[in-house]
Chain A
Amino acid sequence: MTEYRTHMKIIGDILSTTRDDLRDEDGATVTYLIRKANISHSRISRILKTLVSQGLLEQIESQGSNKYRISQTGREFLQAYKTFTNFADNFGLNI
């Protein structure tokens, strides 16, 4: 059965990917994030735009394409997200 993911969980997945999966400082391409976060191009574009405008991701122009890497604010948000995911889990809830 497919697991239902909340909007918050998708954001958490994207930020986790940009923090944990990438060893270099270049950032992740949209294609890489689509594959890892498993969502459509149109949806991820909207989310990435929001995350960049909120300062959670940094957008880098590299060889004619956009790449994304996690910012310091994004790291702090991700830490808070993981802490409060555990907190909500105790109540049997998803954030």
Chain B
Amino acid sequence: MEFLLENILNLVGFLVGLAIGVMSIIGFRNTGSPTLFRLSIAFLSISLGFFVIWTGYTIEDFVIKSGNIERWVQTLGIAIQTIGYFFIAFSHSIKSFFPKSSYFRSVGILPLFLVSSVQLEHIFRSVSFILLVYGAIETMLSYFENKNKGAISVGVGLGLLALGEFLGWYSFVFPESILYTASVTIKIGGLIALFIPVSKVPLTKIKFDGDFE
């Protein structure tokens, strides 16, 4: 069951990331906007990260058949996704992400110390969690400024991905519990929520214009 859910998650993540990434590239090619360039890197990284893990699971399922995905493949995929989450947070001006107070700074990096004794994968999951929470909060705040309903869906999507990352990271405490399955299911929900407003963008009359910037 977990194996199947993981496969669905990684395939959905790959496709949603690719769709938003390609749309951002089209936007960048048409307008030359650096924001859209950063979004392209973000979502293509997320897509690639999911693809790496999905490939790992598929090879394991059909070729190796050991019952477990290679740990380094999972870590590599999550690391690539973390780069994508970083660029989403960076687009919201990463400066405000780091609190000025030295007390909050020390609290902010606490999760890294908490997981320093376990695998690299958990460090990436905790960093992803922080970046996703930041992205979700900033997106929700932007809704209160411009009342764009799509921002609610993206904010909820990023929030669900953050919750999924948190549960996935926390499941190493209770490895055989329902936490991991819940984490994967919530992340699939998050990806779908991310895609809803993007799917409504009309692209029919947009064409590439390579001459502009």
The distance in angstroms between the C-alpha atoms of A84 and B201, with both chains bound, is: 8
Give the number of chain A interface residues (Cβ < 8 Å): 22
A83–B39 CB distance below 8 A: no
Query: From residue 40 to 95 of chain A, which have CB atoms closer than 8 A to chain B?
Result: 54-56, 73, 76-77, 79-81, 83-84, 86-95
User: Is there contact, CB below 8 Å, between A77 and B23?
Assistant: no
Task: Tell whether A84 pairs with B30 under 8 Å between CB atoms, given A90-B154, A92-B141.
Answer: yes
Q: A86-B201, A90-B151 are in contact. Are A95 and B33 (CB under 8 A)?
A: yes
The answer to whether B31 touches A95, judged by C-beta atoms less than 8 angstroms apart, is yes
Confirm or deny: A8 has a beta carbon within 8 angstroms of a beta carbon on chain B.
Answer: yes
Q: How many A-B residue pairs have CB under 8 A?
A: 88
Which chain B residues numbered 197 to 213 have a C-beta less than 8 Å away from chain A? 197-198, 201-203, 205-207, 209, 211-213
Enumerate chain A residues within 8 angstroms of B189, measured Cβ to Cβ.
none
- Mark B139-153 against chain A: 1 for CB-CB distance below 8 A, else 0: 111110010101101
Give residues in A with beta carbon < 8 Å to B.
Answer: 8, 54-56, 73, 76-77, 79-81, 83-84, 86-95
CB<8 Å pairs between A and B, sample of 21: A54-B211, A73-B209, A79-B206, A80-B206, A83-B201, A84-B31, A86-B148, A86-B150, A87-B23, A87-B24, A87-B36, A90-B148, A90-B150, A90-B153, A90-B198, A91-B139, A91-B151, A92-B92, A92-B154, A95-B31, A95-B33
- Do B141 and A76 have beta carbons less than 8 Å apart? no
**Bound-complex Cα distance A90 to B154 (A):** 6
Complex Cα distance, B195 from A1, in Å, reads: 33
Interface residues on B, range: 35 or more
B194 CB to nearest chain A CB (Å):
9
Given contact pairs A55-B211, A90-B154, a sample of 17 additional A-B residue pairs in the complex whose CB atoms are under 8 Å apart: A54-B212, A73-B209, A77-B31, A80-B27, A81-B31, A83-B202, A86-B148, A88-B27, A88-B39, A89-B142, A90-B151, A91-B88, A91-B154, A92-B141, A92-B151, A93-B39, A94-B35
List residues of chain B with CB within 8 A of the CB of A73.
Answer: 209
